[in-house]
Structure 1
Amino acid sequence: MDKETEETENAPETPAQPLLTLRVSRDGGKSWEPEKVIRADDDLEPLMTSAWPPCRCPGCLPGRVREELDAYNARRRLQP
């Protein structure tokens, strides 16, 4: 084995290139959540639709999420 091949095989793996970096503020920019980096080798669920951002209306939500949302809304209606 030549020296170049040996160096390539023993080289540490470099992380995949970032595709997207997000920081979210939920209070108008007063504070920020930690940075979230999406990389090319992340194991992400495929999108169910090409619409972006994904719709969150009750008709589009998966069944379990829709049931949880319905229960949450029912509890809110019962509060004075």
Structure 2
Amino acid sequence: MTQRVHGVAAGNILTGAKTPLDCAAYGTACTPRTPLGAPMVSAEGTCAAYHNARRRREDVAGPRTRWPRSARRRR
């Protein structure tokens, strides 16, 4: 019997429909030390690979900053 954990998107991550960054549990409740799904269990899993590469939500979204005036393209 398969047990589902609320907030874990393991099935969607395994099929490629979502990335680990789309999972609410990634990096908080689900880590390599406390895996909640198959993608985090082994080092070859997508979530574990993201975690080992230190991919975080902040890295993708990043802070919204404006380019300095000197770096802006002039028209």
What TM-score, normalized by structure 1, do the two folds share?
0.20
Q: Which structure has greater helix proportion?
A: 2
Greater relative contact order (Cα < 8 A, sep 6+) = 2
User: Which of structures 1 and 2 has the bigger CA Rg?
Assistant: 1
Q: Which structure has greater strand proportion?
A: 1
What TM-score, normalized by structure 2, do the two folds share?
0.21
